[in-house]
Structure 1
């Protein structure tokens, strides 16, 4: 996974869906087309999106998360919602976590989690959040989240097999040599309303055992699995009132231990972990600083660590990596272009950001990336321009560093 002669590039996963795929998703949900019809549309779309990534110059490609159903062109939750169709033990409900307020208690630390409407950042900027002209929350379809009412099992074997087949075929066709697929973390999986498990620990470990099947299938296919886990950083803002940092670290430690349980025996060089503070385009003044999270992050059994770093709330935190103790055989995958602004970063800025991280951990251990998924957050034309700037900046940084 280490660089040898240049800075390699990748992204976090979600890319804008095509109108054809969005229409096929809707038709399948409504029973108007078959699974085979949907997978045929996905296969064609993955072929095209991998070709686009290669044309732009992305090194470590993926399927655009085209196997993770988006409700509409604007969708902040597809990275999580896709799991609902791949898990047994769930019962449909009328709950939409972006539009309702619900609290549940977790341990250790007696942490009380809330839904989006009761977050501290939203409380601080309530007028802005509730003003549709602010652009913080753009138009989206309501998505109903299920409840856990029975033992969790993994039922997504056909779906993950289709993801694998589609990506590997597209990679072979385009000459791509490194590919990844994103999968939900146990901690994020456990954010579904629970009516079955007696304790937080039982719930999180049940999620770990279920999702391990997806991780293993991806790794066994020779691909990299990216663990998507906003729950490690984002949950801080979801706790109201603000907890003590040490209580919060105890809360996320359980989730890290469960994730490592799910990753046991899997080769670390085929695992990367994605940390972010959430994808909504808000002020983020209540984000927990990376200085509190970097040690827990490095305790995760992954070969690469992806995180937001172009986000202006966290762009200064690159300095922490100089003293973080990153193992020599591991890499960081910092975001050097952002998903939360329509402004396309200049390649010189991208190169400077890459150079900062290279000075902290070494040029061999920096893979340039995006902050988070671009699909569902940015117009396709802007998303493509940002990937182009990412590649151009990485080439510029490579000329400086190699």
Structure 2
């Protein structure tokens, strides 16, 4: 994960649009019509193509598009999390979809309880918009059932993650890419599955840390960077009803950070990047917790780089947070310069200006231009690739000014 030396480098958060062929293979795999090796045949070709596309656009730090993370369809806001259901033991399937099934859990002072999606505070505030199928807030996503934890968690994804690693490394070699990453679920986000086995929140989160560590280690042992996907650090704020105090929320979140650092112990920081976001559905996000409350806790995570939303309408102003919160020596940031939450393709000049804002507060060598969140499952493929092109062109313009 090198710092910039002569130009602004570019990357993205991970998920990229799947091809129709891969979407069909995913559907057949989830229906039990094909097994993992047969799905792998579709993945082999898909990853070669998406890495080639990234390199042709000019992306420096590439990945497999998260193609190995099973998706439910062209629109899927949860593949980053749902893929783990195929890689963990101790789960029992249910027919519950937490985006649609309301559980009216309420928090009490000092005691945090996560509610289901329909009972979240942003959804309560904009109930009509969220439930209007023509409004575009939740688009036309397929129903995805989440399992529950009924026994001790184990990691069963060795074959799957080995396939992710092999495919991206092979595709990098074919396309001249020297830097690559693979995304993996954080313990805190893993622990959001309904739990009927572990006695305490702490036991659950640390059990998730133990199993997900196997995936992190497999990735870094093969020379790739692991990106820890952890919307739970920021997004869970909206999932608590009624709104807690910031202090209580940070205590709740600190356990998840400590468990993540436990899972990352002894792994090389230069091969670890952390992704924070406030949830990738296209809602108003008026109940997002501001970055200024989260940044210091985020910086305690044992990663070299920190990825976060920086161009969305709710968080585009937060570059100024870094005027008061100094980036530690040797660290880098991956601010999102283009957003997953709008169909408008950002002008390269706007991208350049955003990069320059971050360079002014953390240093030009420490800014790697990225996306707010994954573009796959959120945007049409044509728009997603156009945004990556604008990102690269904006980085080129900024580089001319900064170096």
TM range (shorter): over 0.9
Residue aligned with 2:151, SS: strand
Contact 1:107 1:200 in 2 (8 A): no
1:375 and 2:376 correspond: yes
Q: CA deviation at 1:30?
A: 2.2
Deviation, structure 1 residue 106: 8.5
> Which residue of the partner structure matches residue 79 of structure 1?
80
SS in 1 for 2:113: strand
Contact 1:230 1:275 in 2 (8 A): yes
- 1:206-285 pair list within 5 angstroms: 206-285=207-286
CA contact (8 A) 1:108 1:250 kept: no
Alpha carbons 2:107, 2:241 under 8 Å: kept: no
* Cα shift at 1:376: 0.4
8 Å CA contact 2:109–2:244 kept in 1: the answer is: no
Distance 2:287 2:142 in 1: 26
Q: Secondary structure at the match of 1:261?
A: helix
Q: Which runs of 5+ in 1 are unaligned?
A: none
1:309-388 to structure 2, matched below 5 A, reads 309-388=310-389
Query: Structure 1 segments of 4 or more deviating over 4 A?
Result: 103-108
Shift of 1:103: 5.2
Q: How does 1:115-126 map to 2 (within 5 A)?
A: 115-126=116-127
Instruction: Give distance in 1, aligned partners of 2:306 and 2:120.
Output: 26
In structure 1, C-alpha distance between the alignment counterparts of 2:141 and 2:48, rounded to whole Å = 27
Instruction: Report the Cα distance in structure 1 between the residues aligned to 2:35 and 2:293, rounded to whole angstroms.
Output: 47
Q: How does 1:1-400 map to 2 (within 5 A)?
A: 1-102=2-103, 109-400=110-401
Q: CA 1:106–1:232 in 2, change beyond 3 Å: closer, same or farther?
A: farther
Structure 1 residues 106 and 128, CA gap change in structure 2 (3 angstroms): closer
Deviation at 1:113, TM superposition (A): 1.0
**Residue 130 of structure 1: CA displacement?**
1.5
C-alpha separation in 2, matches of 1:344 and 1:31 = 38
Q: Compute the displacement of 1:142 (Å).
A: 0.6
Q: Secondary structure at the match of 1:32?
A: coil
Q: Is the 8 A contact 1:111 1:248 kept in 2?
A: yes
SS in 2 for 1:213: helix
| Cα distance in 2, alignment partners of residues 136 and 198 from structure 1 | 36
Using the TM superposition, give the Cα deviation of residue 127 of structure 1 relative to its aligned residue in structure 2, in angstroms: 1.4
| Runs (5+) with no aligned partner, structure 2 | none
